[in-house]
Structure 1
Amino acid sequence: MSAQNPFPPDGDVLIMSPTGKNWKLHSWQLVNYAPKIGALLKNVAPRNITKTMRTEAHTIRWWIEMIPFGTFDDHRFRDFVCVPEKKKGKLTLNGAGAFNGVGEVSFERTYDNLFRMLYNMPPNLTDDIDDGGANLYITDCVSILQAAAFIGSLPSVRTYIESYLLRINQKLWVHVAKAPEAWSDVAVRLQSAIIFRESIIHIAGGLELPGLINKRSFDHIEYGKICLQVAERKCRELRDKKIDVERRLLQYYPQRLIRRETPDKIPGRADYGSDIYYWQALTMCRQFFQSSIMANRHHRHEDGGVEFYRTVFRCDYIDKHAADEFHQLFAMSTKGKQCLADAVEVIKDDHRVIIADLLEDNLQLRTTVRSKPLRYLTCTRILEEELPWIANPGLGAGSIPGQVQDGAASDGSASPERDAGEVIIQAGGPSSEKVPGKKTRTGRAAKTRDQGEDSGEEGEQQHDDDDSSREENDVDEGEYMDEA
């Protein structure tokens, strides 16, 4: 490998871009980790590679061309077609410039990063984390994710993509807060629990608030229905939690006011008389709660009651003005007013305990003192068993690395360090798993195969009547790799 071309030089599949860039990859890598590309190889007979050709670093057995993406109009992605040896090098370059990087992300950049991840190499992501809010960085990551889904590589790269997204920390959570609907789908594709929880907390909190969550957008994303079902269930749980908190606010008795009969004593008038200021304070607080509920400031309010709950938690009610109005009806001495004011503050602190769980912040997003608070509650919890890919293990499973579906690349002659038919795991070591339908040749069978390759060199010129004309049209694979 070189700095200019980091991919292995012994790859036996050449993927060619219409703009001239190429990638030399291993067929076993594509069959195992990009099965939709690997499946193309079985439909085209590979070029026979002899020992002499291998010694001269001629290892290409298949040629794959990139063609315009057919699923939908997006210049970040390509379809692939495996071309016979006779047609290699006959790329149609008409309009190639139109494919060379439209907008902020080109398909060459997307697939170069994807192939790098398949080989455990770091991708070249746009570094705009400090200057541009990581917009292009995130676009690169999501483009790789989508491209991987189209070729069946998600199980192989989702962990890498998630790790690169999490590296930008708060900038990622800002993006999730702005578009939680789309990020919930991304999270399911990545099977990322932390991103899924973050997006569902935003969706569940704002689902019943007008203008915050676009429910129609879930119809246009792959896992939108599943994500919306989880969010709606969590939204109902949140509403039930609000109702329970409101009920407890109206029914709560502070422990200091509760007096029970014991074998030694029955509470008398003097005991309750000493609590008179606390009972007055409790009555004033309950009157505020009931007035707020009757004014529809609770969970039925257009803000979901969030301002009411925050007011109670801040103890920002029954202020001096409200106390003065109370004393216009119930006059007290200066000492009595002070005792009542102290009792009100104590009772308000008791009510904070009830409301605290509702105002718990389970987001990864961290706001500053100057940040505008969110318009919804963020106390939602998503359990491990509620994650879609845990509840439904087959969801988005795709191809599993190591499970080969066909024997297109089972020969493996481009990898001299392994026996034919032996699968190499992604870390680079040999695996005991064999490609279905192929037997590994060892001992005398291997010698016979090698002798056949040597004799094949002598008779190669007589293999096809039009070999001489074909050689005139062939382009040496070294010319392809100049741009790779």
Structure 2
Amino acid sequence: MSALNQEEDVEIVLSHDRHYKFHSGVLARNCLFFAELLVEKNAARLCGKARLAGIKIRWMFELTKLPGEGRPAGELKLVPLDPMGRPPLAPGLVVNENGRIPITIFDSYEAILYALYGKDLPISDNDMTSVLRDASEIIDIATYLGCMSLISKPVTVALLKHGQALFRAIQTVPWGWLAMGCRIQSEIIFGEAVAHLAGNWRKIKEDREVMDRIRHVDKDVEGLCTTLHKRIVVETRRFEMLIMTHYPAGMAQPVDQLPIKREEYSRDILVWMALAWFRHWFGQQIISGQGAFSSDGGYKLFSVIAAGGDAYLDKALLNQFHNKFPLTKKALNVTENHLLEIKECMKQLVLNSGLMDSKCQLDVRRYPCDYFTCVKVGRGELPWVKSGEMMEMPVVRSKGRRLGGNEIAARNQAAARKLAEAPSSAGMGRKEGSGSGQRNYQMFVDDGDEEEEEMATPARKRVRRD
């Protein structure tokens, strides 16, 4: 007998007019459901008469119940056979579809069973709704049969054909797509959902219902999102410190001759004033809770710094500084130019930090997010990969001996079993001493506060110190 013409010893009956014959080896190697039932003790003991009559069927399965509450894939049962390979009753559901919504469960079962033999899954790619409608039932059946790895890539490809429409949907409801990505073991969809969750984790974890759904996906997902969010916070705090302590080139050592005289530093007084104004503004943002510990993790603050120019510390705010520290028109213009240079320097620091680099497939320029999307899920952090690695056992092989078909099938079934067992996301002031009196300087806010009336500045003499 040819290797391509093996005996079909399993019959699957989906309805009275849908009978299929398959090979027990193919079913058992690819589906956990069949692997547990296609054993010798469940096989029919065919008599000699049956063998002479050419009867080969030793196992029969019947779809006894259609999808309903608690059984999204219906119910497939093993049917006992007599020595002649016949069931006690004529198998097959009789469904009257007259005037009812067409039942697609039979087509979905057929699609998966044929996919075991290399046939493509018939998933519509006309629009996102069609894909989800077709894929939903197929995913339920694949979960029931324990052959999710078989349909993972076809479903993922069908979804990815919709490009930004898919990624916008993930942006809107990341916890829902998290469950989908985990079920079909799609690294792209799962990683995209986790990136949105981790970036917006402070807001997400305040929603109890959403958190319950996330925890239901997998026990490790919450910890993964927390870990990735902490990475963002640590990096954000590091760059907050870097920005606050950064000195543009040339400020610390204006000349090469050491020690540097005060006259040399005094020539750069307007540069130091510009830097002080920038740090005044930046420190105010951090103290007012706009930094790493804000609800958006500091995204808005870093976004305006990355934008540079008049995105912050604009003319209106500089006029408030000018009212407190009156300068000549020329000196003010020079200070503004120095401030623009400092802004450009800080902009490059932020852009080079990688915090503003989105690792999502979503086009954040067209569809912006109000949180960081700079994290990426490593392959070793995927729940199904971690489960598989934990079950990997070292195999002692003789020289040249590699894994065989039975060993690979056993490992695939162990991974499928593990997956099946998992549950299916006001201004502050400071006092500054001056001579015999104390004056209170309020913090300036970047929200269009009315300018204070200009007060006469008392004349001050420069005291020469030797």
TM-score, structure 1 normalization: 0.69
Alignment-derived partner of residue 374 in structure 1: 369
Alignment-derived partner of residue 136 in structure 1: 130
Alignment-derived partner of residue 243 in structure 1: 237
Alignment-derived partner of residue 63 in structure 1: 60
Gaps of 5+ in 1: 1-7, 407-484
Alignment-derived partner of residue 30 in structure 1: 27
Query: What pairs up with 1:375-454 in 2 under 5 angstroms?
Result: 375-394=370-389, 402-403=405-406
Alignment-derived partner of residue 311 in structure 1: 304
Query: What pairs up with 1:146-295 in 2 under 5 angstroms?
Result: 146-209=140-203, 214-221=210-217, 223=218, 225-259=219-253, 265-295=258-288
Which amino acid letter does the alignment assign opposite residue 215 of structure 1? M
Output the CA distance in 2 between the equivalents of 1:273 and 1:191: 64
The structural deviation recorded for 1:361 is 0.7
Query: What pairs up with 1:295-306 in 2 under 5 angstroms?
Result: 295-306=288-299
Secondary structure, counterpart of 1:298 in structure 2: coil
Alignment-derived partner of residue 45 in structure 1: 44
Asked if the contact 1:101/1:107 (under 8 Å) is kept, the reply is: no
Output the CA distance in 2 between the equivalents of 1:317 and 1:208: 25
Asked if the contact 1:65/1:81 (under 8 Å) is kept, the reply is: yes
The structural deviation recorded for 1:329 is 2.7
- % same residue: 21
The structural deviation recorded for 1:258 is 2.8
Alignment-derived partner of residue 15 in structure 2: 18
**Structure of greater relative contact order (alpha carbons < 8 Å, 6+ residues apart):** 1
Output the CA distance in 2 between the equivalents of 1:256 and 1:162: 54
Q: Deviations over 1:423-477 (max 9, x none)?
A: xxxxxxxxxxxxxxxxxxxxxxxxxxxxxxxxxxxxxxxxxxxxxxxxxxxxxxx
The structural deviation recorded for 1:260 is 8.0
Matched, 1:86 2:79: no
Asked if the contact 1:114/1:123 (under 8 Å) is kept, the reply is: yes
Q: Deviations over 1:249-298 (max 9, x none)?
A: 22222223231886x54333343234323211111111111111222222
The alignment yields a C-alpha RMSD, in angstroms, of 3.7
Output the CA distance in 2 between the equivalents of 1:171 and 1:395: 36
Number of aligned positions between the proteins: 385
CA gap 1:67/1:171 in 2 versus in 1, 3 angstroms? farther
Output the CA distance in 2 between the equivalents of 1:47 and 1:142: 39
Gaps of 5+ in 2: 393-402, 410-466
Secondary structure, counterpart of 2:15 in structure 1: coil
Asked if the contact 2:299/2:370 (under 8 Å) is kept, the reply is: yes
1:359 to 356, 360, 379: 356
Alignment-derived partner of residue 340 in structure 2: 345
Which amino acid letter does the alignment assign opposite residue 79 of structure 2? C
Output the CA distance in 1 between the equivalents of 2:303 and 2:69: 47
Asked if the contact 1:19/1:97 (under 8 Å) is kept, the reply is: no
Asked if the contact 1:260/1:266 (under 8 Å) is kept, the reply is: no
Alignment-derived partner of residue 434 in structure 1: none
Asked if the contact 1:234/1:380 (under 8 Å) is kept, the reply is: yes
Output the CA distance in 2 between the equivalents of 1:217 and 1:98: 35
CA gap 1:62/1:347 in 2 versus in 1, 3 angstroms? same
Output the CA distance in 1 between the equivalents of 2:227 and 2:194: 10
Alignment-derived partner of residue 112 in structure 1: 110
Alignment-derived partner of residue 119 in structure 2: 121
TM-score, structure 2 normalization: 0.71
The structural deviation recorded for 1:344 is 1.0
Alignment-derived partner of residue 321 in structure 2: 326
The structural deviation recorded for 1:362 is 0.8
Further displaced range: 373-382 or 175-184: 175-184
Which amino acid letter does the alignment assign opposite residue 357 of structure 2? E
CA gap 1:89/1:120 in 2 versus in 1, 3 angstroms? farther
